[in-house]
Structures are given as C-alpha cells and as structure tokens.
Structure 1
Amino acid sequence: MSDDEYDLPFGAGTLTVSLPDCEVDVAVPAGGEPVDPRAAAEAALDDPHGPPIDEIVDAGDDVCLVVTDVTRATPDEALVAAMVERLPVERDRITIVLGLGLHRPMTDDEIEAGLGEFADLARNHDPDATVEVGTVDGVSIRVNPSVADADTVLATGMVEPHQYAGFSGGAKTVVIGAGAEPVIRHTHGPDLLAEPGVRLGRIDDNPFREFIDRAGDLAGPDFCVNVTHGPAGILGAAAGDPRAVVRDLAETAREALSVTVTGEYDAVLGGVAAPKDANLYQTSRAATYVLLGANNPVRAGGRVVLPARLPEGAGEGRGEKRFYDRLSSGASADAVFEEMREGYEPGAQRAFVLARALRDHEVWITNSEHPEVVEDCLMHAADSPEEAIEPGSRVLVVPDALSTLLV
C-alpha cells in the first residue's frame, strides 16, 4: 500500500482508498491490547462492582438474561457462558431475551451465531407485548414479560460511544433493548435530546443516561457483564452494578478511543465496521458522531464520506422504517428538522439527529448496494470515496468512525 492509500473496514474485509491529490491526516486512537472476551469476563466476575453474581441469584430463582442484538458486536456467547457457569440455578430456569428495542427480529442463524450453545434459550423481544414495572418522571417503564416476571435480571452489554447516553451499556440493554415505545418516545424525543448534557462520550450530568439508570432501578438488570472495545478488539470487561460497570469501562474506552484534532477539514472519510454497515440507519451514526461530537472537524459546507455496503437498505425494523419515511418525505434537511422538533414516533430520532447535521454539512455514502435509498434520504451516493472527495481537499481519515472520539 502506498503512502496515499488508506484501508477502511468494508463488509467482511477492507476497502483501499487512494487520495493522491489531497492533504490527508489520519485519526487513529491509541487503542490498546485486545483481550480474550471469556477470560476478561471471568476476571470481571471474580472482582465485580458490588456483590458477586452467586450472591445476587438464589437457587430457586427464575433468571432472565437480556443480551444485545445483531447491531452490536458484543461477544454475547462468551459473556453468557461466564455468567451461567456461576449461577446456582438449573438451565431450565434461565430465559434469554434478545434486546432488539425497535430493531428487526434476529434470524435463527443470527441467534445461533451470537449465542451458540445458548441459542435454544433465546427469544426475540416484542416491543408491543410488555408489562409495566413502574414509572419514572411520569413515564411508564414497560419491559418484556420475561424480564418483569423474573426473580433476577441479568444483562450483557457493549460500553461504546453513544450519541445520547454518552456511552452505551449498563441498564440500557434492558430498559431500551427489552423495553417499549413509551420509554423510547421519552428518551429519544426532541425535548430530551435537546438537553445540553445529552452528548457523545458524556456520562456525568447527562439527562438521558440518568433516566436510563433510574429506569434500570425498576426494570433491571440486577447484575451485568459488559465489555468495551478498541480498533484491535475487546479491550476489557467489567461486572456487577450497572452504573459502576459503565463508568469503569467508559474510562477505559476514553483512554483508548480519544484523538485530539485541530483545524478544519473539507472532508472526513470514515470507516464503518460490521455490523453497523448493514443499513443506512446504523451507518448514519458515523456521520453524526463526527459532526455532533465534542469537536466537529468539518468546515461549514464540508462533507462526511462513508463507504458502507447497506445490504438491508435503510433497515428493516420499525425504527429504521420510520427513519426512512421521515427523511424520504422531507423537502430538505431544514424542513425535516423543523417539523420533527414538534415531535416524532419512537425510532425516528435518528432522522431528527441526522437532519440536524445535514443542515450545515453533506453526507456521502459510497460503494453501497442501495444508492437510491441514500439519495432518497437527503444524502449523496457515489461509487467510491475517490468520487465523493474533491481533489485538493484537506481530508481527515477516521478508520473507525464509530469507535473514535474526536476531541
């Protein structure tokens, strides 16, 4: 590879981009040494935040374990195995709920790939079939019946940068993943998302994160095992109290993922690793992470360029379809943003946040299987990044745009 070529994740492999006529900087976080997920989970369970798991779960308990869905690259099988071997209950007392939120159900093959020997215990969450377990600030906290009926609720999770929660993981796997529209409508609505503390990489004084944690006090989890990751893979695990787990791993993630950037760029070329490249809903996160993060490096009128396959088009879940409907029916980003400030359906928040970014910047999606969907959604499609980036541009290459904090 020559000095003016750059490798980005693309599908199961990489895409090499050549920018010989551009001034290029590359934002590569420090990362860290990858660890074996199962070994890291075992070590975390040996030294949890709070009581150990075998003191949380009693022998006669019915246990519900909520795991992440196919949109998260969480090593769920390893985390579940580490927990299950320490539980003082028989296997037939364990139910696994796939935390879909408003995403599409997982297929049998995806469940098998994600959970292996535990796939037979798993069921897709249905956000229309939920049970209320209480209220927070007048908002009904509703969860999957298996969660509501369980004596003990456990969870896996991925603590990674999140546009609203600061970092994902902790109680979010249960409250959102196994939750219902009232919570998603409140947490992802325009009023809460407009709060200044709701931002990428921020946990303290973040109203979104605070609400999720309080809802988790009602719904669970009682105990969780989460991991965080960097460019090289899983960097660490933590177990126990959900708040403490998120705080622990967020610190690890910040150290591994932060890159200081100075000046302004004409374009940011960002990589979107699988599984986030499956659809436009997920891929568009990379654009808003760059443009609405702590330090937006793109000049006014500049662009973010993202190669992504998009085999699912805009996405197949309820939220993804609402995202597409809002953007594809809008006359402009300004029009969509102003209309959605008055309110929108749960799941459509990605359209609201993306429209906010599109008011001042362009987003180009290249190399996709569905360029017509990209164009429908007020963005630009191109066959390659070289086509989307003008010669002579000052370019910042961010090989892993969803796992890099630009500060």
Structure 2
Amino acid sequence: MAIIKIPYSRGFVDLKVPDQNLKGILESKAHHFKTDDPEATIVRKALDKPIASPPLRDLAVGKKKVVIITSDHTRPVPSSITLPIVLKEIREGNPEADITILIATGFHRPTTEAEMLNKFGEELVKNERFINHNCFDESTLVKVGILPSGGELWLNRMAMEADLLISEGFIEPHFFAGFSGGRKSVLPGVAGRTTVLANHCSQFIYHEKSRTGVLEGNPIHKDMLYAAEAANLAFILNVVIDANKKIISAYAGNRELAHKEGCEFVTGLASVEPVPADIVVTSNGGYPLDQNIYQTVKGMTAAEATAKEDAVIIIASACNDGHGGEAFYQTFLDHKTAQDVMDTIMKIPMEKTIPDQWESQILARLLIKHKVILVTDQCDSKMVTDMHMLHAYTLEEAMKMAFEIKGKDASVTVIPDGVSVIVKQ
C-alpha cells in the first residue's frame, strides 16, 4: 500500500493507494530542488543582477510617486520576505520616495486587514501604505487604450500616475495564462472589470493555446503583455517557490525578459510526462490556493491532462472560504448539466462576458468529460453538489467512491500538487 502526502489547507493529508493500482506519481522537481542560499539572499542576488534593466535603486532616483503592485491573499507570494527587500532597495536610491503598495486583487474581493497581517506581517502593514485595487470602482480607473483582442483597457489610476511602477509576484504554471507572474500583475491584477471580462472571454478560454505552460500564441498572454507595456511596468521581482512555499529562485528586471527566464526555469522543473489513468488524485497545493472552489479548478486541470476518457478526478481542497465567486456558483445552480453551462457560455460574445464565466467554462469542460469528487471537511457539501460535483469528507471516502465507479482494478495516477506541474500534451 502506497501512502502519499497530499497538501491540504495548512498541512497534509495521507492518500492510500493499493500498489497494484498505482500507475504513477507526477511531481514538480521544484519540490525537491535544493539551494544553499537563504530565501532573502536569493532575492537580493536577483536584485543585484537584474535582467535587461538597471538596478531598482537606480530606477528609483528622482522618482516621486512609486507604486509596488503585490499579490493578494489568494497567492502564496512570500511578501513578508520580498517586500522589505524591495522597499529597502527603493529607499537606498531615493530616501524621499512616496511609496504605495497596491494589492492586485484582479476580480477577487478585497484583502482584509487580518489577511494583510497574515501575508505581509504587522510591521509592514503598520508602517507602509497598502491600497486594495477595486476593479468595480470606475472612479479609481482610467482608460488607457484598446487591447490586441479589441477589448477596452482600463487600469488602476494610481498605477498609471506612478513615476515608477514595480511589481512583485511568483511564477507557477497557470491553467489558461500559461504562467503566473510578470505581466499578470497588471492584467488582471490592477485592471478594470471591463478589461478582465474581455481578456477572459469564452473564445480565448476555448483557444487551444490557452493552456498550462503555453505562452507562444496564447491570446490571453498577448493581451497581458500589452497591458503591462501600456502601464509602463518598469521592473519586476518574481520568485519561484517549492511545496513548502519557500523561495528557491528569483528573477528581477525587465517585465518581459526576466519573466521569460523565470518561466523557462519553472518549465524545466514542472514538466512531467502524462500517465493516463482511470482515477487521478490531486490537490490545489494547500493554503492559500485551496481556500475556495473557484481557485480549485486550477488543480483539476492538471488531473484532466493525464486522465483517461471518462476518468474520475479526485481533488483535495479545503475550500473554507466557500465557492469564491457568486456568479460562478450561480451559473451551475441555474443549469441542469455541465453541457448546458458550456452551451450557454459559448454563445456569449466578448463584449458581454459575465463575471467568473471563465472559471465556469473550464469546470464545465472538466465535468462534461469526468466525474469530479471534491474532498473537503471545511465547506458545505450542498455547495459542492450544487456545482455538479461529488463530495467526500476524506480521501479514503473519495477513493472508495471512485473504485465503486471505475471498478476495483482501476488504475490510479497521483499529482500531489496540481498547480505545480505542467503535464506535457
């Protein structure tokens, strides 16, 4: 009997799979990557040798309004380590700089004070100016232009009025943007509602290049690059983290070239060969990415990429914050089947994209092909079943359900951390 640790909430749960059923375990090499440098040293080294850019301290000279875009509570960016170093770097170049830290909420709810304290630490929250971006508040937005896709580009006014715009984030595989990090801090991070909806339209989500680990030819990525350039994003700091959310590498400098180098590093670590199976078990990487069902769809797509036709997908995700999007939840509540959801969404033109439809579209795509069992003891089971999934309180219960569906001889592939891998296609 194989026993495999699966990330769940702030810890791990054990998955037991009979040896004769287990066909493979797919893991990112990032989880076993070793470095002798402390996390802060890795960050400082990246800032000392930026890619295709002057040092941040030099860029800060003479700048009055400096804005740092940072990630919100749903992203495991180790900002309590990175932000103090970035702030020190800026102030070494310009002690008088007026600095605002803009939280890139994208289409998410605002980050609460408690979540800020947890993510950034008391000292930063107490002594620095933090502002939540609000994509719905038109008074805080400015129209910048037209995206390559044809959608209107609206961005946070504070970011556009900055003399120096910087972003920090992390790079991991992303289920439709290819990778997180870099340009994504601007779009969707600090973009307006209209812009996010256009960029996440049904045709783009459907596009064959809008997949994990793909940048070349990805229409969503193309829009994001344009937005970052339009915002004059001058400098980025992106880190790569392991399963314990520890920094193992960092990339600083030019918004496109530094990000590209980081993506190449992640590709080398995260790419795995598919091992098709009747049952695929995964997770959403634990806290903070498994706080809601909305985010949990990401981990499901890794399982989708190695699942046989009509396979059962099991995903362990706490979802203690519920569905994560009212429109996302309501879409499934209002439709009898996943195919009905898909049929409705594919008829919606770009200019009429509705909130969260991209997440609904991807979940519907999964549910059309597979049964999905969501394992959680921290979320209302009715909410899970309302969204056309099966619910289990434990992995043991979920495995029993899956074997009843697929038979006792069913093959099993395990992806302990679904958001960390790129399953080759």
TM-score between the two structures when normalised by the length of structure 1: 0.92
Match for residue 147 of structure 2 among 136, 144, 151: 136
Q: How many residues align?
A: 396
For residue 369 of structure 2, give the secondary structure of its aligned residue in structure 1. Answer: coil
Partner Cα separation in structure 1 for residue 142 and residue 298 of structure 2 = 30
Equivalent residues in 2 for 1:1-400, closer than 5 Å: 3-20=1-18, 23-24=21-22, 25-31=24-30, 32-33=33-34, 36-49=38-51, 50-87=53-90, 88-90=93-95, 93-116=98-121, 117-119=123-125, 120-129=128-137, 130-137=141-148, 138-231=150-243, 233-262=246-275, 264-272=276-284, 273-291=286-304, 296-315=305-324, 320-343=325-348, 344-369=353-378, 370-389=380-399, 390=403, 391-400=408-417
Deviation string, structure 1 residues 151-196 (Cα, Å, up to 9, x no partner): 1111001111011211111121122111111221111101222222
Q: Which moved more, 1:208-217 or 1:17-26?
A: 17-26
Listed one character per residue, the Cα deviations across residues 25-81 of structure 1 (whole Å, up to 9, x for unaligned) are 222232212553322121111111122212322324200111001111001232222
Q: Distance in 1 between matches of 2:63 and 2:178?
A: 37
Counterpart AA for 2:34 = E
CA distance in 2, matches of 1:21, 1:46: 49
Checking the alignment, whether the CA contact within 8 Å between 1:269 and 1:398 is kept in structure 2 is yes
> Residue 386 of structure 1: CA displacement?
2.5
CA distance in 1, matches of 2:41, 2:17: 41
Tell me, in whole angstroms, the C-alpha distance in 2 between the residues paired with 1:269 and 1:60.
50
Pair 261,124 (structure 1): closer, same or farther in 2 beyond 3 Å:
same
* 3-state secondary structure, aligned to 1:268: strand
Letter in 1 for 2:114: D
For 1:229 and 1:290, how far apart are their aligned partners in 2? 21
Q: Do the aligned partners of residues 158 and 91 (structure 1) sit closer, same or farther apart at CA in structure 2, a change above 3 Å counting?
A: farther
Task: Check the 8 A contact 1:19/1:386 in 2, yes or no.
Answer: no
Q: C-alpha distance in 1, partners of 2:96/2:318?
A: 39
- Structure 1 gaps of 5+ residues are none
Question: Quick check: 231-240 or 184-193, which moved more?
Answer: 231-240
Question: Hey, what's the Cα distance between the residues in 2 that align with 1:146 and 1:182?
Answer: 18
Q: Which 10-residue stretch deviates more, 56-65 or 374-383?
A: 56-65
What letter is aligned with 2:303? Answer: V
Q: CA deviation at 1:288?
A: 1.9
- Cα distance in 2, alignment partners of residues 37 and 206 from structure 1: 32
Does structure 2 retain, via aligned residues, the 8 Å contact 1:277–1:310?
yes
Deviation at 1:367, TM superposition (A): 2.8
Greater Cα shift, 277-286 or 190-199: 190-199
**8 Å Cα contact 1:189/1:346 also seen in 2:** no
Residues 307, 368 of structure 1: 8 Å contact kept: no
SS of residue paired to 1:205: coil
Offset, 1:22? 5.5
- Check conservation: 2:299, 2:419, Cα contact below 8 A: yes
Name the Cα RMSD after superposition.
1.8
Q: How far apart, in 2, do the equivalents of 1:377 and 1:306 lie?
A: 14
Q: How far apart are the structure 2 equivalents of 1:381 and 1:79? A: 38
Q: Compare 53-62 and 353-362 and name the one that shifted more.
A: 53-62
**Residue 356 (structure 1) shift:** 1.0
Give the whole-Å Cα distance in 2 for the aligned partners of 1:301 and 1:85: 53
Deviations 1:229-249 (A, max 9, x none): 233532210011111122111
Greater CA drift, 102-111 or 20-29 = 20-29
Identity of aligned residues (%): 25
CA distance in 1, matches of 2:296, 2:368: 18
Please state how far the C-alpha of 1:92 moved relative to its aligned partner: 6.2
